[in-house]
Amino acid sequence: MEFTGTIRGIDKNYITGEINITFSVNEKNTVLPEYEKLKDCKKLRVRVVQYREKRSLDANAYLWVLLQKMAEVLKSDKWSLYLQMLKQYGQFTYIVVKPNAVESVKKQWRECEEVGEVDVNGTKAVQMLCYYGSSTYDAKEFSILLDGVISEAKDLGIETLPSEELERMMEQYGKQI
Per-residue pLDDT, 173: 52
48, 90, 126, 172 from 136: Cα distances, Å = 17, 11, 25, 17
pTM of this structure: 0.65
At residue 123, the 3 state secondary structure works out as strand
Residue range 91-130, pLDDT digits in tens = 999 999 999 999 999 998 989 999 999 999 999 999 999 9
